[in-house]
Amino acid sequence: MASAAEQLASNLNFSTFAKAEDLKKRLWFTLAALLVYRLGTHIPLPGLNPEAYAAAFQGQSGGILGLFNMFAGGAVERMAIFALGIMPYISASIIVQLMTSVVPTLEQLKKEGEQGRKIINQYTRYGTVLLGTLQAYGIAVGLESGQGIVADPGWFFRISTVLTLLGGTMFLMWLGEQITSRGIGNGISLIIFAGIAAGLPTAVAHTLELGRTGALSTLMILTVIVVAIAVIALIVFVERAQRRLLIQYPKRQVGNRMFQGDTSHLPLKLNTAGVIPAIFASSLLLLPATAAGFAGNSQLPGWATTVIAALQHGHPVYMLLYGALIAFFAFFYTAIVFNPKDTADNLKKHGGFIPGIRPGERTAEYIDYVLTRVTVVGAAYLVFVCVLPEILIARTGIPLALGGTSLLIVVSVTLDTVAQVQGHLIAQQYEGLIKKSKLRGGKRGR
């Protein structure tokens, strides 16, 4: 089966794509949805002084606001209706997934199939509303604390800002679900990808401008380019890397004939957690700054101001915590999305076993042992890819869009999207082969 799929994948060409009408419709729908998202990042909030806000953002663009702006596709820089982006939904979905391993009720829902998944998705939406409301209110209070940013401060501005920003996040959540069901898939990831990718040309132009004005030397610019290319190559290599465990199925007898047992592989990705650890680590480090917006920086106690300053982008404490959180969530999220015991039970149920390993508990222990070793390499890779470019950014002042987290998201989502497109093309070729076989069968019957 795997060899047949590989053979079909190797036969894919432009003519196959030209005949894929359903795939083309999905691609056009995805592009139209992403265009709507990009248009929304240019619609500003009402009641703001654009000049005063631009001046305030300029002074903080290299810190927390710069990270918010990168994930929101430039919407924070313009304080648009999509300034919150899709991050509240991502944070809520990860929190709910973490709770499924702790709360027995949610764990039971996870095992109930499609119906349980719908209920969990509904809980995720409720969590998105809660987190989005808190973050939007923090933004509203933070805007009011700025000098001359809000034309008419007060509860009317706060309520309207919360409703507008929350509405933007809920719309993006719905848009991502539509891309997943009616587009080419990975809707939420594609929205983040579109936001980061839109900032890459500006980031490159800004870096070249720093070189033209003498702020960066030619050698430093070449170093940044070489590091970016090396990081991209490393991401492509590791994201495709797998540790395959040989699975053997016993011989079976049908009538008087004995059939040889099949063999297959259990693929364990080197980076099972994907981009989630980097995104969640960034989101968690942004929470203190969001909470500080409730009281305003001028009203914070001394120790809180010190903590917020230490968590600014580029600070050594921020770098250490960022790397530690990425490593932690790489292990934690892998443990959630991949359960060795369930995998071992499924293998035993279907008669499969790993050669030399007893089925059942010993197989689960062996898979967990291999998965842990693989995850150590994957976590080290994530920390290296995300932290090394951040150090260069802190030292050179190049834009955040060229950082390791953004490159990881862009390259990973691109690889996943290409795989989705190939999957649609392979499915169409299968359908074409089935139709041809039916036509030949009908002709023989006549």
What lies within 8 Å, CB to CB, of 57 at 6+ separation is 65, 69, 76, 77, 79
Pairing of strands 242-248, 252-254: unpaired
Q: How many CA atoms lie within 13 A of 398 on its CB side?
A: 29
Question: With bands split at pLDDT 50, 70 and 90, how would you rate the model's confidence at 133?
Answer: very high
Which tens digit of pLDDT belongs to each residue from 244-273? Answer: 888 887 766 555 665 566 778 888 888 888
- The CATH architecture of the domain made up of 216-445 is Orthogonal Bundle (1.10)
Which tens digit of pLDDT belongs to each residue from 76-99? Answer: 888 889 988 888 888 888 788 778
More confident residue, 15 or 311: 311
Residue 65, pLDDT score: 66
Question: With bands split at pLDDT 50, 70 and 90, how would you rate the model's confidence at 212?
Answer: confident
- Provide the CATH number for the domain formed by 16-215 in this structure: 1.10.3370.10
Is pLDDT above 90 for 170?
yes
Q: How many CA atoms lie within 13 A of 195 on its CB side?
A: 30
More confident residue, 297 or 246: 246
- Mean pLDDT computed over 188-197: 86
Instruction: Give the residue from 290, 325, 310 showing the smallest Cα distance to 84.
Output: 290
Residue 80 near residue 41 (C-beta atoms within 8 A): yes
Amino acid at 136: A
**Phi and psi torsions of 266, nearest 5°:** -100, 105
Is pLDDT above 80 for 292?
no
Mean pLDDT, the chain, as a whole number?
A: 79
Question: With bands split at pLDDT 50, 70 and 90, how would you rate the model's confidence at 5?
Answer: very low
- Mean pLDDT computed over 102-111: 80
- Mean pLDDT computed over 426-441: 64
Residue 3, pLDDT score: 43
Q: How many CA atoms lie within 13 A of 32 on its CB side?
A: 9
Domain with CATH 1.10.3370.10 in the chain: 16-215, 216-445
Lowest mean pLDDT among 72-86, 195-209, 318-332, 385-399: 385-399
Q: What is the pTM of this model?
A: 0.77
